[in-house]
Structure 1
Amino acid sequence: MSQQEKHQAIALSAVFQAADLVSQLAKSGGAPREETLPLIKSILTVNANSAEDIYGGQWDYKQNLSLGRRIARQTFGKDRAEVNPETLRYALSLVHLENKLRKYPDMLSAIGNRIQQIERQSEHYEDAMHENVIAGIAGMYQDTLSTLPFRVQVQGDSRFLQQPHVANQVRAILMAGIRASMLWRQLGGKRWHLVFKRKALLKALDA
């Protein structure tokens, strides 16, 4: 397994983790902090040396992305039937949406500028998951990606999705999923790999 394949597996794990957390939020109104925090931090980690560093560093990224790695292994292995269909749909939608985003350089530039603003704002709070930080990321998603013709259609319990703090978390995690999808593509990932390189992806995830 090459370093590129290893880092692709890390990015894909983050995509699937974001997808599953969105599903959890939409259905129950909540998601585990320990699985959400690394994704939120990844959005604010702009200048990293490796995929490992984006998700907590050499010693922590495996634990931080354990949920996404498990779901990705199920998806590309023999246990695909065990994967929540909504999680799989969100993951594929995130990859598709990121592919669409590439055609809008002005929007990409706007997102980059907003991330820098939110990064500076986050320095005033001890917690990257402070409601103001989450709201800032959610607002960025709503002002940019939500305006594209293709959108990630989130389905769940309206009692939760209509609550502003839940809606903000959903949008923030979707942005984290886009960040992971972009990283995967920058590392050489292609959408056709998800079908025709399943064995190689599974090997990298197992490693």
Structure 2
Amino acid sequence: MSSASTHSERDRLLAIAGLYQAAACVQAIARHGRIETAPMQPCIYSLFQFDPSDVPAVYEYAAAVRGGAQHLLDQLVSSPRDLELTRYAITLLKHAQQLSKRRDLLTRLRTELERIAAVCQHESSLLDDTCLAQLAALYSDTVGRLEPRILIHGQAVYLKQTDNQHAVRALLLTGVRAAILWYQLGGRRWHIIFARRRLYDAARAYLADTDTDPAAPPQLD
């Protein structure tokens, strides 16, 4: 893809929406034991887009991160905000910053993801546990070792289940991938706090463009 200066607000919105979508999927698993396959699929798909032609291609189709954009919009306008979701997002952004300085980890991630992609193409779905287990192991051996560790809060009965653990770790890896993309496109961590109007406008426009009959969006104070 081209340099950060040539990318649009829509491109940056897709990246940060991908991050929030991954975080929200993690939250759903931890709180309710619910693996939401529709929003999770494009997140996992993004891990295997090594040389995408453009930003939308990272998530496969135009409306792929609508859920994440809605969560972002809710965070911008709701009171009180979901501080847990924000904490997940901020920690993933911190990990992406750390990764940018670790060429060794980035190289390992690329090599391992290419290997896992070859394995997953033989499965019926990217969400098959064979794929998720390998992605989870890769997360644990790389990003999962970075500080501060991301602490997932939820119901122990769900967090103890192996399939859920695999899904959560795989999703965290996709969140870091989205955060790296956000930085590559010129996004910054402080934009979430100090560029709220710009994010709000971009999220509203994206949700309207990908819905033929959008509901009236909430208003930013």
1:181 to 169, 179, 182: 179
Q: Which residue of 2 aligns with 1:21?
A: 25
Calculate percent identity across the aligned residue pairs.
28
Q: Distance in 1 between matches of 2:82 and 2:191?
A: 21
Aligned residues of 1:73 and 1:206 also touching (Cα < 8 A): yes
| Alpha-carbon offset, residue 3 of structure 1 | 4.6
Task: Give 3-state SS (helix, strand or coil) of 1:185's partner.
Answer: helix
- What whole-Å deviation, never above 9, does each CA across 1:107-164 have from its counterpart, x for those lacking one? 1111111111011111111211111100111010001111223211111111111111
Higher relative contact order (CA 8 A, sep 6+): 1
Q: Which residue of 1 aligns with 2:66?
A: 66
Aligned residues of 2:22 and 2:171 also touching (Cα < 8 A): yes
Q: Distance in 1 between matches of 2:196 and 2:32?
A: 31
2:52 to 48, 55, 60: 48
Q: Distance in 1 between matches of 2:79 and 2:114?
A: 38
Q: Which residue of 1 aligns with 2:118?
A: 120
Q: Tell me, which stretches of 5 or more residues in structure 2 are unaligned? A: 1-5, 206-221
Letter in 2 for 1:43: L
Aligned residues of 2:95 and 2:147 also touching (Cα < 8 A): no
Q: Distance in 2 between matches of 1:183 and 1:171?
A: 19
Aligned residues of 1:97 and 1:152 also touching (Cα < 8 A): no
RMSD: 1.4
Q: Which residue of 1 aligns with 2:195?
A: 197
Going by fraction, where is helix more abundant, 1 or 2?
A: 1
| Alpha-carbon offset, residue 80 of structure 1 | 4.6
Q: Which residue of 2 aligns with 1:172?
A: 170
Q: Which residue of 2 aligns with 1:31?
A: 35
Q: Distance in 1 between matches of 2:165 and 2:141?
A: 14
- What whole-Å deviation, never above 9, does each CA across 1:44-98 have from its counterpart, x for those lacking one? 12121112111123xxx32x2121111111222x3252x4322121111111111
Q: Which sits farther off after the overlay, 8-17 or 95-104?
A: 95-104
Q: Please report the TM-score for the alignment, with normalisation by the length of structure 1.
A: 0.91
Describe how 1:59-98 pairs up with structure 2 within 5 A.
61-62=62-63, 64-76=64-76, 78-81=77-80, 83-98=81-96
Q: Distance in 1 between matches of 2:7 and 2:48?
A: 24
Task: Give 3-state SS (helix, strand or coil) of 1:184's partner.
Answer: helix
Aligned residues of 2:20 and 2:69 also touching (Cα < 8 A): yes
Aligned residues of 1:20 and 1:87 also touching (Cα < 8 A): yes
Q: Tell me, which stretches of 5 or more residues in structure 1 are unaligned? A: none
Q: Which residue of 1 aligns with 2:213?
A: none
1:105 to 98, 103, 106: 103
Q: Which residue of 1 aligns with 2:142?
A: 144
Q: Cα gap change, 1:4/1:149 in structure 2, threshold over 3 Å: closer, same or farther? A: same
Q: Which sits farther off after the overlay, 84-93 or 12-21?
A: 84-93
Q: Cα gap change, 1:30/1:53 in structure 2, threshold over 3 Å: closer, same or farther? A: same
Aligned residues of 1:145 and 1:151 also touching (Cα < 8 A): no
Q: Which residue of 2 aligns with 1:12?
A: 16
